[in-house]
Amino acid sequence: MKIILKQAGRSDREIQGRADQTLLSLLADQGLYLDAPCAGRGRCGKCRVRVSGELSPATENELNFVDGAAERLACQARPTGDAVVEIPAEARFSSVKGLGEAEPYAVDSPLKTRTFEPLDRQDNTDLMTARSLGRASIQALNQLAVLDGAREGGQAVLWGDELLKIDPTIEGREPERPLAVAVDLGTTGLAVAIIDPATGAVAAQGTALNPQTACGGDVISRITMAGGGPEQQAHLQNLILDGLAALIRETAGEARLPNLMAAAISGNTTMMYLLAGIQPKGLAQAPYRPATVRGLDLSHLAARLGLNEGAKVFTAPCISAYVGGDITAGMLAVGLQKLPGTVLFIDIGTNGEIVLSHKGRLVGTSCAAGPALEGMNILCGQRATPGAVDSFIQRPRSDSEQQGEPRGRRFVDFTGDDVFQFTTIGEAAPTGICGSGLIDLIAALISAGLIDKTGRLKPPKELPANAPAWMEGLKGGRFNFHENVFLDQKDVRQVQLAKGAIAAAVEMLLERVEMTIDDLDEIIIAGAFGFHLRGESLKTISLIPPDYKGPLRFVGNSSLAGSARMLLSPPALEDLDALAAATEVLELGFDPRFQTVFVRHLGF
């Protein structure tokens, strides 16, 4: 049976369908990964696609989200004959701007080039010694032998004194400059940056959905799947290797792939294990003791990741089973241990990781925040891609008129005194809500009195008689603010679970060091969407204590910035090991009080 795949900006593709495969699985085989945090069980409604042609009947679960005719859930629909499937724009890889904020450092990458002239044929010294090199791959030794046999000069690419590759000099052509790849391997999202090691400049950046989300939205579901046997573990490893290779290829471009000679990868402990092919089962079983937390050399996977086969590939060290290399890389990026005073560092993601720095002492913990704050498990949620609503603000009309229209689209009450505005990524028409927009929207509705302290969306009958026109979007347990984009009561509950876990972890971490929120000199917020958050919104939803009066600093994707530093600064790897070794860990899973504190922080 013939399946035509249509996608904006790309040529149509024809593939062969199978009646025993869902559309979600067929698309994944083509390297197109739709959001499916429910692991393909038809419970989240995220994998909607437009279809026509011959497909299996709609399931009962599907009809909760789609009409079952022109729109289907890819995880439930199976082809029974020829069909056409329209791929949503968010399934494509998309570019982002800017690495996370990092403290200044001198760029002196170990990834360097070196030019060689031909050796004298009478020199019988070992070639490696003659070239003053340390180690080399078989590929590099073959290249060196061919170059010497032909009495040619060439350019070597080295990591420190390790020879990665060597190319002959071609008259009239400048030798290719090597490039490096920084990677943030998240539970929900992937981010890469292509970097010039000579200057530290970012040549290109890209993000994508982690294809493992089709197997579950959190690390526990993936640990459980990997524990099912070698085939399941290999499947998860192949998913992430394929996903990263596709993103790197998309971001760097085919022509640059042979020049990608080093990659540094940071991520939580589970993601590191699944990438490396290490069985993660022990991470989910008491006493939650990882087989290793050291940084790993994964150079044998270079070609599998789309890099030059001689490339150097390594990971950031982790700290414990649930305090991973992403937070270690983030601490390195912001120079956490060197900051004066008492600083709380919060990396908001599917796994909320938190470290307190006090006069050189580091204490860290983590909590299962879930993917809601990254736009997942939200009915109209999406990643931070074009069309995602990324901010909301309610302000007096007079202020709005003075400041002019905001970037992107807006929804305005022209009959009242207030203006309710939102912006979208890329100034595109709204297609959904990403994490920063979700937090802003809920905060705005709390401030306007439409969400009460328990998280309940008030029914229309409880609105004041003189309510502004934009409040009329509140109907049937939903707040509708643009055509098919809305906030549902279930979405509010998902955010409560996420912010409750992080707030509880912060409270218990401060208790551990016998401090309160008043003792903090600064709070640093990191995460893939960290630049777009607003401090007041975080306080309004009580993710950050509302009575905190100190500075809030947003540093963006500090994990990616830390990976870049691993590639550009020789002392970074030693600093990372020292940070990981110095960090004390508070295991909340062992504390029976956590559930009580968590429940107390669910309200607004």
pLDDT tens track for 369-381: 888 888 888 999 9
pLDDT of residue 533: 77
pLDDT of residue 122: 56
The whole-number average pLDDT for the span 486-500 is 95
Percentage, residues of the chain above pLDDT 90: 49
Least confident interval from 61-75, 262-276, 549-563 = 61-75
Percentage, residues of the chain above pLDDT 70: 87
The whole-number average pLDDT for the span 463-472 is 73
Cα–Cα separations (whole angstroms), residue 147 to 127, 214, 223:
11, 47, 47
pLDDT of residue 104: 78
Least confident interval from 37-41, 244-248, 442-446 = 37-41
Band of residue 97 on the pLDDT scale cut at 50, 70, 90 = very low
* pLDDT at 401 > cutoff 80: no
Question: Taking the model in full, what pTM does it have?
Answer: 0.81
Q: What is the pairing mode between strands 478-482 and 485-488?
A: antiparallel
* pLDDT at 400 > cutoff 70: no
CB 493 within 8 A of CB 378: no
CB 337 within 8 A of CB 579: yes
pLDDT of residue 37: 65
The whole-number average pLDDT for the span 231-239 is 96
pLDDT of residue 403: 47
Q: What is the pairing mode between strands 388-396 and 432-433?
A: parallel
Domains, the chain, in order of start with CATH, read 2-89 (3.10.20.30), 179-315 (3.30.420.480), 335-372+493-600 (3.30.420.40), 382-484 (no CATH)
Band of residue 271 on the pLDDT scale cut at 50, 70, 90 = very high
Helices 435-447, 489-512: axis angle to 10 degrees equals 100
Percent of the chain as helix, strand, coil, to the nearest 5: 35, 25, 40
* pLDDT at 167 > cutoff 90: no
Least confident interval from 43-57, 75-89, 141-155, 237-251 = 141-155
* pLDDT at 486 > cutoff 70: yes
The whole-number average pLDDT for the span 304-316 is 96
The whole-number average pLDDT for the span 194-198 is 92
pLDDT of residue 130: 62
Least confident interval from 210-224, 232-246, 315-329 = 210-224
Band of residue 261 on the pLDDT scale cut at 50, 70, 90 = very high
pLDDT of residue 530: 59
Q: Identify the top-confidence range among 221-225, 430-434, 468-472.
A: 221-225
pLDDT of residue 452: 93
The whole-number average pLDDT for the span 114-128 is 67
pLDDT of residue 91: 55
pLDDT of residue 93: 36
pLDDT of residue 281: 93
The whole-number average pLDDT for the span 548-575 is 92
Residue 266's SS3 state is: strand
- Residue spans of beta strands (DSSP E) within 371-450: 388-396, 418-424, 432-433
DSSP 58: P
Least confident interval from 98-112, 289-303, 504-518, 548-562 = 98-112
* pLDDT at 124 > cutoff 70: no
User: Is residue 277 packed enough to be buried (19+ CB in 10 Å), middle (13-18) or exposed (0-12)?
Assistant: middle
* CA torsion through residues 132, 133, 138, 144, sign: negative
The more confidently predicted of residues 547 and 11 is 547
* pLDDT at 570 > cutoff 90: no
